[in-house]
Amino acid sequence: MELDRLTDWLWCLRTPIVQCYAISHRAGFVLIDASTEGEENSILTLLGQALAIPGEQVVVHEILLTHGHHDHIGSAAALAARTGGRVVGPALEADVIEGRRAHPQPRRRDWEIPMYEQIIPQVPAAPRVMLDERLAPGDTRDWDNPAVLLAAPGHTPGQLAVWFPTERALIAGDAMASRDGQPMPGVFNVDPAEAATTYATLAALAPDIACFGHGAPLTHQAAKFLQPGTRDRP
């Protein structure tokens, strides 16, 4: 795992499989997603290095899960146990995140099948994690950089995106992705048509910063790269 500082308040924690994000908050952090299972030590060590403190001293106030896929919730339970951070996530996906229901299967388009068969076996199953709070579109987060949660269905039924209106920054979960610096809708969607609509809705926010679960974030004038329909596949 590697850590990239995107702004003075926002970091990207990336592995070859997935990215999660850290937000500065009250001398600690809020995490948006929690990478794959087994990454808790790397996450805390890297965030500790950012603050020049040992990883075991890192304060994680909250872990917000955008949706219930294994590569986004994988280390949430371990991080919560280590730090005492609250775990919050979409109410519509609580049964999946908490282990009572299986993930809905994506409608894989022909060109997605080889990618799916290559990538999914690399993602370890995530331990279930109980939500301390169930979230819905329109809910707000009173962080040092306040945010509002937006409906982002299509990739999964209840996915949420995180919008920072003052900074015009978007953390899109898997509603968006990027490849070779070019954004596109995320892949492996349960409803590809709904995913395309969500992509267009989020692009219409005209963010200056756009962060994705997969692919390099856009950190300056993101809106000009996010026009719907410019790219729909790798």
Give the span between the Cα atoms of 156 and 187, in whole angstroms: 11
Q: What's 181's DSSP letter?
A: T
CB atoms within 10 A of CB 163: 21
| Cα gap 144→141, rounded to integer Å | 9
Structure tokens at 229: 């329909």
Tell me the C-alpha distance between 215 and 211, whole Å. Answer: 8
Q: Classify domain 2-225 by CATH number.
A: 3.60.15.10
Query: Rounded to whole angstroms, how far apart are CA atoms 147 and 232?
Result: 28
Token pair for residue 222? 């993101």
Q: Residue 224 forms beta bridges with which residues? A: none
pLDDT by residue for the chain (234 residues), tens only, comes to: 999 999 999 999 999 999 999 999 999 999 999 999 999 999 999 999 999 999 999 999 999 999 999 999 999 999 999 999 999 999 999 999 999 998 888 887 777 788 778 888 888 999 999 999 999 999 999 999 999 999 999 999 999 999 999 999 999 999 999 988 789 899 999 999 999 999 999 999 999 999 999 999 999 999 999 976 555 555
Reported pTM:
0.94
At a CB cut-off of 8 Å and minimum separation 6, what does 205 contact?
163, 168, 170, 223
Q: What's the start-to-end Cα distance of the chain, in Å?
A: 23
* Backbone φ and ψ of 139, nearest 5°: -65, 150
